[in-house]
Amino acid sequence: MKRISIIVFFLLTFFSACTKTGEPQMHPNAWLITGESESHMAKISESGTESCQVCHGEPYLNDYYGGSSGVSCYECHKGGPSGHPAWNEWMEPESDESHGTLFLDRGVLDCGSCHGLDLTGRIATGCDACHTNQELQTWLD
């Protein structure tokens, strides 16, 4: 009887310790703090978003809708992994969140971290995909 009590006690203790699922800390503490050297934007500016797909998307589909982590870029960024607003707002010149308006507010250093300081591309498509070199030069002067 004593032996059964010990086994039951052990099983109850073992299973009660396993009822709470913990999530591993995959990113540094400053991951979500804008402007920190260990933030996700600093990492993306450095090496792009491809490594994010391992957990947050499907590489074959080139998406970032959550993947195995279940955390999608679209939960915080309306425009997805780019961090830009939703596409229709981003491309609408009259929108307060138009890429042109935000470029004029933030300047080439902010946009250049992904699109290149000359705006012809870096880890993201260059502005020259849609705009002329003359337009780019005007904005850079």
Residue 77's region, left for phi above 0, alpha for psi from -120 to 50, else beta, is: beta
Half-sphere exposure of 111 (CA within 13 A, CB side): 21
SS3 label, residue 51 = helix
Amino acid in the structure at residue 71: V
DSSP H helical ranges for 18-118: 40-47, 53-56, 87-90, 99-106, 108-115
The Cα-based distances of 7 to 4, 18, 31 in angstroms read 5, 17, 44
Rounded CA gap, 3 and 5, in Å? 5
Q: What number of residues does the chain have?
A: 141
Provide the pLDDT for residue 131: 92
Tell me: the pLDDT tens digits for 30-73?
888 877 888 888 888 888 888 888 888 887 777 888 888 888 88
pTM over cut 0.75: no
Tell me: the pLDDT tens digits for 74-120?
888 877 778 788 888 888 999 888 999 988 888 888 888 888 899 99
Residue 63 burial (10 A CB sphere; 0-12, 13-18, 19+) = middle
> What are the structure tokens assigned to 5, written together?
């009590």
